[in-house]
Structure 1
Amino acid sequence: MIEQSAVLGVVAIALGMVLSPGPNMMYLVSRSISQGRRAGIISLAGVAAGFLVYLVGANLGLAVLFAAVPELLTAIRIAGALYLLWLAWKTVKPGGASVFAVQDVPADSPRRLFAMGLMTNLLNPKIAILYVSVIPQFVDLGRGDVLLQGILLGGCQIAVAVSVNLAIVLAAGAVAGFLSRRPAWMRTQRITMGGLLGALAVMLALGSTGSAAA
């Protein structure tokens, strides 16, 4: 039904996305550290639901909607760039905290954790671009049901994203403990992540559709 090269291409893109610092990673790490692994896993369930919304929407006509109203995708892209810039400033500003810093924040309910994970992913413009313009490039019209191909390729992306994010959630506490005993490393990580987020925001604002932030 789908070529192995198409699957490998989607997996490679998905891996590059999930390993890049972005809203999803920031939210999952912060929840896992401040409220524990269970909260991180519930938040991840919300993120996964967001992927499913895009998967279904893209294969049922979301691309047509964005083609008919290109301003909608532009608005999502600009909003995402501004959000990434805000995250970058929050990270590197004087007195800013690393995403791996243990913070005393009010515990959210499971429903709110799930909802925030869902919304964080739905408002991630790179995910919209991924499903609307990147994954469709791997669909071969000559290899049968286009809808099924889109669903299978999207499923590969979701499997990679959820697996890697789960590993991040489970390891966040250990990484936070390691960095908390090494202030210089914590400061370096904070500046590096803030710089990467800022660069991603600029790329997104300029319309780059390369490696995505997830």
Structure 2
Amino acid sequence: MLGINDLWLFVISGIVLNILPGPDSLYIVSRSASQGFKAGSAASLGIGSGTFVHIFAAALGLSAVLATSATAFTVVKIVGALYLISIAVPMIFSRVRQTQTVQTVAPTRLSKIYRQGFLTNALNPKVALFFLAFVPQFIDPASDNKALAFIVLGLIFNLNGMIWAHLLAWTSAHASRRVKQNPILTLWLTRLAGGLFGYFGVKLAFSAQ
């Protein structure tokens, strides 16, 4: 009815693509490792919300503007790169907070983690172009409901991504329990994650359309 072809192949391909490491996975792992599963879940939900932006933008044809306009692509990628770097800087220069009995790395509010995850994904033009290139391969060109088919496939992709993201958050949170007992090690892992965010930001800034 919707003109969706090879749904099983789309699901399998989507799962494989979600598993591949990138800025989103790094953000989930870093937040989960430093603040536990709730923080990783907030990051995952933020990233998933950002993915909705790309799904509906591509379905409405807005992502085609990024594919055809060098100026639009450059503006979005620079904004996205600057935002990634803005996340990286405080992580790189984070410090251990000392209380009367315990030393910990200062936590980040869950609302802020959600917002950062959302903007990290929503401001990445590469994600928009990915949906524009990947999803139409599974839609019949003769379908009268291409936009609806695109949204359905996007929702399936995002659902699989959320399942994987929460699994990643859970495993990262549990694996980091021993690490949390050493605040100095946690601090340097946070700085390392910040350095990687900076790398992704610079890489995005110099990426080609």
Structures share a fold, TM > 0.5?
Answer: yes
Kept in 1: contact 2:55–2:131 (CA 8 A): yes
> In the superposition, relative to structure 1, how do residues 104 and 26 fare at CA in structure 2: closer, same or farther (>3 Å)?
same
Tell me, in whole angstroms, the C-alpha distance in 2 between the residues paired with 1:14 and 1:129. 18
Tell me, in whole angstroms, the C-alpha distance in 1 between the residues paired with 2:206 and 2:65. 21
> In the superposition, relative to structure 1, how do residues 67 and 121 fare at CA in structure 2: closer, same or farther (>3 Å)?
closer
Over aligned residues, Cα RMSD in angstroms? 4.0
Kept in 2: contact 1:27–1:117 (CA 8 A): yes
Tell me, in whole angstroms, the C-alpha distance in 1 between the residues paired with 2:12 and 2:77. 23
Report the identity percentage: 26
Shift of 1:2: 1.0
Whichever of the two has the greater Rg, that structure is: 2
Tell me, in whole angstroms, the C-alpha distance in 2 between the residues paired with 1:59 and 1:160. 19
SS in 2 for 1:28: helix
Shift of 1:132: 2.6
Name structure 2 gaps, 5 residues minimum: 94-103, 182-187
Name structure 1 gaps, 5 residues minimum: 96-102, 182-186, 209-214
Corresponding letter in the other structure for 2:4: I
Kept in 1: contact 2:83–2:120 (CA 8 A): no
Q: Which moved more, 1:82-91 or 1:162-171?
A: 82-91
Shift of 1:68: 5.6
Normalising by the residue count of structure 1, what TM-score does the alignment of the two structures yield? 0.67
Q: Which residue of 1 aligns with 2:5?
A: 3
Tell me, in whole angstroms, the C-alpha distance in 2 between the residues paired with 1:151 and 1:89. 36
Tell me, in whole angstroms, the C-alpha distance in 2 between the residues paired with 1:83 and 1:53. 17
Q: Which residue of 2 aligns with 1:98?
A: none
Shift of 1:7: 4.9
> In the superposition, relative to structure 1, how do residues 75 and 133 fare at CA in structure 2: closer, same or farther (>3 Å)?
farther
State how 1:1-214 maps to structure 2 within 5 Å. Answer: 1-4=3-6, 7-9=8-10, 11-13=12-14, 15-22=16-23, 24-67=24-67, 69-77=69-77, 104-108=105-109, 110-177=110-177, 205-207=206-208
SS in 1 for 2:61: helix
Q: Deviations over 1:79-108 (max 9, x none)?
A: 6567779999999x9x9xxxxxxx713331
Kept in 2: contact 1:15–1:161 (CA 8 A): no
SS in 2 for 1:142: coil
Normalising by the residue count of structure 2, what TM-score does the alignment of the two structures yield? 0.68
Tell me, in whole angstroms, the C-alpha distance in 1 between the residues paired with 2:112 and 2:88. 24
Q: Which residue of 2 aligns with 1:99?
A: none
Kept in 2: contact 1:37–1:169 (CA 8 A): yes
Kept in 1: contact 2:80–2:120 (CA 8 A): no
Kept in 1: contact 2:66–2:125 (CA 8 A): no
Number of aligned residues: 196
